[in-house]
Amino acid sequence: MIKRFYVAISIACILTACSTTNPNDPYEPYNRAMFKINNKLDETILEPAARGYQKAVPKPVRTGVTNVFDNLRDVISLGSNILRLDIEKAATDVSRIGINTVWGLGGLLPVADLANMPNNKNTLGDTFASWGWKNSNYFIMPLSGPSTLRDSLGGAITTVYSPQSALISNNKVLYGISGLNVIDTRAKYLGLTDVVKDAAPDKYAYMRDFYMARRSSQTGGKYGENKDEDVNIDDLFEDDGDSSNTDKTPSEPNENSSSTPSSTNKE
């Protein structure tokens, strides 16, 4: 029931986003409204919880928690690389998962990183990009950070069908682990959001442009340029026109996504 509700909310948000004439942010009215809601929830609930977590929990423990969730992200990366038919990177993901799980005490210790193993951390959004959906409109989901239509769709799927849900059947434990992941991720970005809060006159535009430029460079897309000659699969949500994509292979993302104020570009 929860999974169906999450997927329904994701689809509803995507299909009901409003359009403007801004080619870089066609859903800006919706995005700004959702940004204000998310920002208010962050200021009143999530940020205080993250600061309390950072203050109360010793750094070595927080680092271990982060490492465990990074190890689970390698499982998502494995699935994404298999879908991309990238056997070499998929094999690397398998090695990382095995080494960190066995020798790293369930992922608490980043043994694979200490051994200088490649760290792919590909997402389902990266897989969609490798299939041709390189450019995607900026899009903010409820209770989430900067993203795109493409990455929001990928993130919704991997949230519903996460490695945690495959391993844990107790919903209370699963929700607790998911909450810890959210707080741990938010704590990692306290420094960045503090800088944006103090320095950016338009926090929404600053975070959008920073995220989209970074994500576009990772996926081989374009941001802030003329995209008229490129296929935009997001147009499928708006009209019936068809077009063909370029074959450029996206570069690899570095860490996180998901779910960061920071996730995931005309994604």
Alpha-carbon radius of gyration of the chain: 18
Instruction: Answer for the pair 132, 245: CB distance below 8 angstroms, yes or no.
Output: yes
- Domain residue limits at 88: 2-18+27-237
| CA dihedral of 175, 177, 180, 186, whole degrees rounded to 10 | -80
Beta-bridged to residue 148, according to DSSP, are 138
In a domain, 255, yes or no: no
CA–CA gap between residue 237 and residue 32 (Å, rounded):
20
What is the pLDDT, as a whole number, of residue 223? 84
96-255-213-129 Cα dihedral, nearest 10 degrees? 40
Name which of 208, 238, 213 is nearest 224 in CA terms.
213
Domain count, the chain: 1
Residue whose C-alpha is closest to residue 99's, from 122, 70, 130, 142 = 70
Residue 194 in domain: yes
Could you tell me if residue 160 is inside a domain?
A: yes
Rounded to whole angstroms, how far apart are CA atoms 149 and 238?
12
**What's the pTM?**
0.74
> Is residue 152 assigned to a domain?
yes
What are the structure tokens assigned to 59, written together?
């750094």
- Say if 251 falls within a structural domain: no
* Contact (CB, 8 A) for 148 and 137: yes
Structure tokens at 61: 């423990």
Q: How far apart are CA 174 and CA 9, in angstroms?
A: 20
Q: Is residue 77 part of a domain?
A: yes
Does 140 fall in a domain?
Answer: yes
Residue 138's DSSP bridge partners are 148
* pLDDT tens across the length of the chain (267 residues): 444 444 444 444 444 444 444 677 999 999 999 999 999 999 999 999 999 999 999 999 999 999 999 999 999 999 999 999 999 999 999 999 999 999 999 999 999 999 999 999 999 999 999 999 999 999 999 988 899 999 999 999 999 999 999 989 899 999 999 999 999 999 999 998 888 887 778 999 999 999 999 999 999 988 876 454 344 555 544 544 444 444 444 444 444 444 444 444 444
For residue 229, tell me if it sits in a domain. yes
Residue pair 141/13 in contact by the 8 Å Cβ criterion: yes
